[in-house]
Structure 1
């Protein structure tokens, strides 16, 4: 996402606290919606682009 690290962190913290979905837009304009309880971890503020994947255990 092109959003600031602070903005992303606040969005994640709010979603986790309220058991909501995390709603972000990536740098290509695609919407990313993740149920907060499905989030394992987030890398915020990294200079390197990371691939993101979700899977079931």
Structure 2
């Protein structure tokens, strides 16, 4: 994913020093990890809501 970011920067003719690249990569990976955790929590909550609705209305997942 970070490589895609660098590719887009190159398309815009923007360059980063190695130090800046390391800093941005660290930030990118940290932010990505945080977002993946949030996404997992949302998916878990969606599943719990689905199970509650199925239970309330006597439905199954089919």
In terms of fraction of residues, the more helix-rich structure is 2
Do they fold alike, i.e. is TM over 0.5? no
TM-score by length of 2: 0.27
TM-score by length of 1: 0.29
Q: Which has the larger radius of gyration?
A: 2
Where relative contact order (Cα < 8 A, 6+ residues apart) is larger, the structure is 1
